[in-house]
Amino acid sequence: MFDEIEKLYKFNEDEWHTKEDIINFIQDNDLYDVLINAPANIREVFGDDIRLVLELLTDPEEDWTELFIKIKTKYSGKKVVELEDKLFYKWWVTIMHEVGDNLNFTSEPL
C-alpha cells in the first residue's frame, strides 16, 4: 500500500524519526488518500520541476507531532510566497478539515 507513497515522496529520516515512524503516522492519522492526491495539486501550482519530501516534526514540550510535505522548488522569495498562497486557496482549504493539525506544507529551495 505504501509503495505508491514512496514513489511520490522522499522520506526525510533524522535522528528522531525513521521511515517507519512516518508511515505509522500516515496510517494512524488516515492521511494516505490526501498524500496520494497532493502531488497533482502541488504540481498544478508549482509546476513539474519540484521534489516532494515528507518530514515528521515533533515538539515534545508542546506535545505535538505534525507531518510536513516539503515542496523543494527552484522558486524563492516573493514568487514562492505567491505560489504557497495560491496552493493554499486552490487546494489546501478544501482538505484542511480532513487533515486537521496532522499535516501541513511548506516550500524550500532545491
Q: pLDDT digit of tens for each residue in the chain (110 aa)? A: 789 999 999 999 998 899 999 999 999 999 999 999 999 999 999 999 999 999 999 998 988 999 999 999 999 899 999 999 999 999 999 999 999 999 999 999 88
pLDDT value of residue 5? 96
Chain centroid to Cα 53, Å, comes to 7
CA 14 – CA 76 distance, rounded (Å): 25
Domain limits for position 95: 3-109
Residues 6+ away with beta carbon under 8 Å from 48 = none
Chain centroid to Cα 57, Å, comes to 11
> Count of domains in the chain?
1
CA 19 – CA 93 distance, rounded (Å): 28
Grid coordinates belonging to 7? 514513489
CATH number at residue 69: 3.30.429
pLDDT value of residue 60? 86
Residue pair 71/37 in contact by the 8 Å Cβ criterion: no
pLDDT value of residue 99? 96
pTM of the prediction? 0.94
Residues 6+ away with beta carbon under 8 Å from 70 = 12, 52, 53, 54, 55, 105, 106, 107, 108
